[in-house]
Amino acid sequence: MLSNISKNSIQPDAWHSLKAFTAARIALGKTGTAIPLKEILDFKLAFAHARDAVYSLLDTQQLSTELEIFNLPVYSLQSNADSRPIYLQRPDLGRQLNNESKNKLQDSSNEQFDIVIILADGLSAEAVNKNVFSILQLLMPALQQYAIAPIVMVQNARVAIGDEIGSILKAKLSLIFIGERPGLSSSDSLGAYLTFNPTIGLTDESRNCISNIRPEGLQYDLATEKILYLIQESMRLQLSGVRLKDNAGSIEN
């Protein structure tokens, strides 16, 4: 004898109230041993956003327009990883400028600078497209005492590409804004890495990092405050990295 096939096969969980304590995917309910479709689709959508972010492109046109108000030359460069699949498999290539970009930068200027600001796609160009202008609007007016180099946008780039850019431009300090690896809960999280005396071959312990910059994470004003503090301290102590402590507050990562 056939039993009636119900329109709703989901067995909900009795502990829905625990969801108030965590953003983890708890109390999902089940059908058989499976996660209900509604929850599956919710997960899939978050994953789709993360995947799209990994393959998003730096919107150099819009960024160039936005950056005009700072009255600085803006360069658009490329790393040695000339496609996204190569970028993902060869971090070494993402740390180097390609020849054309290198020449462009070398020909640009013989001046010396205090700070070079670099906008790099990293693992989420979307994070840069969405967040970087807002934070630069807060940051740039506070940097007037420094000689600021041309702003550099660079694609298929890893953090360490800032070392090459900084050394070519003879900048005392490089500040690179870069898209962080997207998670299911955030696909547009921006990181900022600060390196004193940028030189090819430096590693992570020579840098200071501020991560999770986005409206739902570390907000722009707080992030700006931390970056400014680190810049001042780095210039004063002539160093960056593990020996530069963020006494103004906590640094994530």
Partner 1 sequence: MCTFFLYFTEQINNIIYGNMSYRTSIRNKVYVFNDLKTLLAKASPLRSGDVLAGLAADSYEERVAAQIVLADVPLKNFLHETIIPYEEDEVTRLIIDEHDATSFLLISHLTVGELRDWLLSDTADTITLQKLAKGFTPEMIAAVSKLMRNQDLIAVAQKCGVVTRFRNTIGLKGRLSTRLQPNHPTDDMKGIAASMIDGLLYGSGDAVIGINPATDSPASAVSLLNMIDDLRIKYAIPTQSCVLCHVTTILQIIQQAPVDLVFQSIAGTEKTNKSFGINLSMLKEAHEAALSLQRGTIGNNIMYFETGQGSSLSANANYNVDQQTLEARAYAVARKFNPMLVNTVVGFIGPEYLFDGKQIIRAALEDHFCGKLLGLPMGVDICYTNHAEADQDDMDNLLTLLGVAGCNFIMGVPGADDIMLNYQSTSFHDALYLRKVLNKKPSPEFEAWLFKQNIMDEHGNQLPIQSSHLLLQ
Residue with Cβ nearer partner 1 (162 or 182): 182
Region 97-126 residues binding partner 1, contact defined as CB under 8 A? 123
Residue 88 engages partner 1 in binding (rule: CB under 8 A): yes
# residues contacting partner 1 (CB under 8 A):
39
Residue 35 engages partner 1 in binding (rule: CB under 8 A): yes
Question: Which of these, 86, 89, 67, lies nearest to 76 by C-alpha position?
Answer: 67
Q: Which of 9, 13, 41, 237 binds partner 1 (CB under 8 A)?
A: 13
**DSSP-assigned states of every residue in 144-194:** TTS-BPPEEEEES--TTHHHHHHHHTTEEEEEEEEEPPP-SS-S--EEEEE
Q: How far is the CB of 218 from partner 1 (least distance, A)?
A: 12
Specify burial of residue 142 (Cβ count, 10 A radius: 0-12, 13-18, 19+).
middle
Q: Which of 3, 4, 15, 107 binds partner 1 (CB under 8 A)?
A: 15
Question: Beta-carbon neighbour count of residue 158 at 10 Å?
Answer: 23
Sheet containing 151-155: order of strands = 74-78, 151-155, 113-120, 171-179, 190-196, 207-213
C-alpha–C-alpha distance, residues 179 and 121, integer Å: 5
Stretch that binds partner 1, among 32-40, 104-112, 131-139, 220-228 (CB under 8 A): 32-40
Stretch that binds partner 1, among 41-49, 66-74, 142-150, 224-232 (CB under 8 A): 41-49
Residue 38 engages partner 1 in binding (rule: CB under 8 A): no
Q: Which of 1, 4, 7, 21 binds partner 1 (CB under 8 A)?
A: 21
Residues that bind partner 1 (CB under 8 A): 11, 13-15, 18-19, 21-28, 30, 32-35, 39, 43-44, 46-47, 50-51, 53-54, 88-92, 123, 181-185
